Amino acid sequence: MLLVALLLAIAASPTVSPAPAPDDIYRAALRRLAALPQPAYIDVTERRLFIAETPNGNAPGAFDQRVLFNSASRRETVLALPYSDNSQVLFSPSYFAPDNWLIHHPSQPQSTSPKAQSFTPDLSDLKTIASVVSVAKPSYDITLAGINKLPDGGIAYHLVLKPRSDPVIHNLRELWVKASDFDILRAVIDGTYAPDPNSPVEPSTVTEDFGQVGPYWVVVHHRWTYSDLPDHIVVHFDSTDHKMSFPQNIPDWYFDEVQFGKHRSQVNVTTNWPQR
C-alpha cells in the first residue's frame, strides 16, 4: 500500500504558481532532512522483482529477502527468505538503507572511482545550508520542472539538478519536494552498481520513493537498471519494502560474518525484537 500511495502522489498536473525559487525549495528540503529523526536499527522484508533483457529474450524473476541495518555502523546483513540454518547470508556496508538520507550518522566519503558501488545521496550542501544559517550557493544549477498535484490536495515541486562540478560526487538529478513541509517524496540519483561481487560495476541510475513508516520518513521503494555490457544483458530491478520495523537493539553479531556463524541457531526469524 505504501508504494501505491507514493506512485499516486507523483501524478503530473498543470503547473501551479507562484512557487518559491528552486534554490529555496532545495535549501528547505535539506533543512527538513536535518530535522528528521533516524532509527538505531531497521528490520526490512523486501520483495525484489527483476526482468533480464538478454539476446535470447526476456527472463523475469522475483525473490524475497530480509535485511537488517545498523544505522550507526552503516552495516547491513541480508537473509534469504525463507530463512534456515543453510540459507545464504550476505554482510556488507549499507547499500539501499531506508535511512540513507538521514544525516545523524557520520557521513561517509563518496569514492570517485568508477569501480565503487554507490547510490549514496549527495548531502554535502547540508553543511552550509541546513547546519548553519547560510545563503551559500548550492552545488547544483536547479530548475523547477513542474508542480505535481497530490491526492490529499497538496502539491509537490519537481526539481531538476545539474551539478556545477564533479558529477560523481554531486549525484542528485531530480527531486520531488512536498510543498507543505518540504519532505522529499521522490529522488533520482546517478551512481554505479553491480548485482554481485563477481559482476562488473557499471553506471546506473536509481529512483527512490519515500514514505512515512511509524515515526520515520524513509525510502520504501527503489527502481534501477543494470547493464552487463560484456554479456549484452540489461536487468531492470524493482524493490519494495513490505514490512519495516525499528528494533531498539540488534546484537552486534548479526553484522559480523564470523560471529554470525557462531550464532546461526539463535537467529530471530520473526520481526519481533526484545526491548532493552
Q: Which amino acid is at 187?
A: A
- Cβ 162 vs Cβ 141: under 8 Å: yes
CATH architecture for residues 2-264 = Clam (2.50)
Return the H-helix or E-strand segment holding 222: strand 216-228
What secondary structure does DSSP assign to 69-108, as a single string? EETTTTEEEEEESS--TTS-EEEEE-SS-TTTT--SSPPP
CA dist., res. 49 & res. 118, Å (int): 20
Q: Where are the domains of the chain?
A: 2-264
Task: Read off the pLDDT of residues 116-138 as tens digits, 9 standing for 90 and up.
Answer: 457 899 998 987 776 665 567 89
CA dist., res. 162 & res. 149, Å (int): 24
Tens digit of pLDDT at every position of the chain (276 positions) = 555 555 555 555 544 558 899 999 999 999 999 999 999 999 999 999 999 998 889 999 999 999 999 999 999 999 999 998 888 899 999 889 999 999 764 444 444 444 445 789 999 898 777 666 556 789 999 999 999 999 888 999 999 999 999 999 999 999 999 999 999 999 999 999 988 778 888 999 999 999 999 999 999 999 999 998 777 889 999 999 999 999 999 999 999 999 999 999 899 998 888 765
Full-model pTM: 0.87
Give SS3 for 121.
coil
